[in-house]
Amino acid sequence: MFKPAQGKGWKSSMKIVELKNVKKTYMLGKTEVQALRGLSFSIERGDFAAIAGPSGSGKTTILNMVGCIDTPTEGDVAVEGEDVAVLPDKELTRFRLNKIGFIFQSFNLIPVLNVFENIEFPLLLKRDIGRKERQELIMHFIEEVGLEERIRNKPAELSGGQRQRVAIARALVTRPVIVLADEPTANLDSETGHMIVDLMKEINRNEKTTFIFSTHDRHIMEHAGRVINIRDGMLEERQ
């Protein structure tokens, strides 16, 4: 039977993400772009945090650092006490699989897999639970996101909101310590967007999973327990 994430891997420290003086520079053609300019902040376990800011402010770069899919040019990034900036690719892959859930702006479901299979996919990569337990877990999250009627549908047969629900279930099914969502409502109409954020918040409450999402939508920000404002790669925090 599925058990909520709270009971497993809960450590004494409340800081689940910690960024210290993080800088990120990359080349855009021949131009050097400073995406992050010495950023430091931390996020507590169980937070429902929004990273807000205009386009190009560095929101996605922060999520990439926290999500272990990019490394800082300078500074430290620790996730659950682990310095992820120094981990080799294999370790980072395992770390992402076990600790982090992703929700993408464009949903990014595997087009040839149906709803059930898309949610099952990360569990098959993990290969650490049996078939029966796996099915129970998947069904729990399918119910949680309200897609019981769409189990066998392929992504192309779903609406944008439904696809994002599948993405949320897929992100949660491995019971990660953090779920990162990159502008999860950007490709949805406002009503569906609110529903998705409500759903994420509800899961945050029920499963005690830490959510960090980027947005530039003020209405979505209102749902966040904490908003980290970014401008030009710098922090502009307000509670």
Partner 1 sequence: MVFLKIALGSLVRRKKRMISIGLLVFFGAVLIVFGQEFARSAKTAARRAIVENLTGDVLLYSADSKERPSALSWTTPLGNIKNIAKIREFLAGQVDVESFTAYAQNYAIIMVSGETGRPSQEKEIPFIFTAVEPQSYVKVFDNFEAKEGSFFGLEETGGSGTPGSSLSGGFERGIVVSDAQNKRYQEFYDVTLKVGDAITLLGLSEGGSVNAIKTVVRGIYTARSFENIYDYVNFMDIESYSSLYNFTGVDTSSLPPELLKGLSATSEDEIFGIGGEHGGASLSDGSAIDFSKLKTTELSGFSLVSVRLKDGVPLAGFMNKIEGEGASYGFKAVKWDEASGGFAKIASFLGLFIYGASGLVFLIVALIIMNTLIINILERTAEIGTIRAIGGSRGFIRLVFLTETLVLNGLSGLGGIAVSSVLVAVFSGRGISLPPVIARYLVGGGRLYMSFEPGLILQALLIIVVISVIATLYPLSVATRVTPLKAMSETMQ
The residue ranges that bind partner 1 (CB under 8 A) are 60, 63-64, 67, 69-70, 89-90, 93-94, 96-98, 101-102, 104-113, 117, 120-122, 124-126, 170-171, 174, 182
Q: Are 219 and 52 in contact (CB under 8 A)?
A: no
Return the amino acid letter for 19: L
Q: Decide whether 44 or 82 has the Cβ nearer to partner 1.
A: 82
Q: Decide whether 1 or 156 has the Cβ nearer to partner 1.
A: 156
For the bound state, the minimum distance from the C-beta of residue 122 to partner 1, rounded and expressed in Å, comes to 5
- Helix (H) or strand (E) segment spanning residue 164: helix 160-172
Q: Decide whether 172 or 228 has the Cβ nearer to partner 1.
A: 172
Q: Decide whether 105 or 194 has the Cβ nearer to partner 1.
A: 105
Dig out the tokens for 79 from the structure.
């996730």
Q: What distance lies between CA 131 and its chain's CA centroid?
A: 26
Beta-ladder partners of 181: 103, 213
For the bound state, the minimum distance from the C-beta of residue 52 to partner 1, rounded and expressed in Å, comes to 17
Phi, psi of 17 (to 5 degrees): -130, 135
For the bound state, the minimum distance from the C-beta of residue 117 to partner 1, rounded and expressed in Å, comes to 7
For the bound state, the minimum distance from the C-beta of residue 208 to partner 1, rounded and expressed in Å, comes to 21
Q: Decide whether 7 or 88 has the Cβ nearer to partner 1.
A: 88
Beta-ladder partners of 32: 27
Q: Are 46 and 204 in contact (CB under 8 A)?
A: yes
Question: Mapping DSSP to helix (H, G, I), strand (E, B) and coil, where does residue 186 land?
Answer: coil
For the bound state, the minimum distance from the C-beta of residue 64 to partner 1, rounded and expressed in Å, comes to 6
- Cα–Cα distance, 137 to 168 (Å, whole number): 14
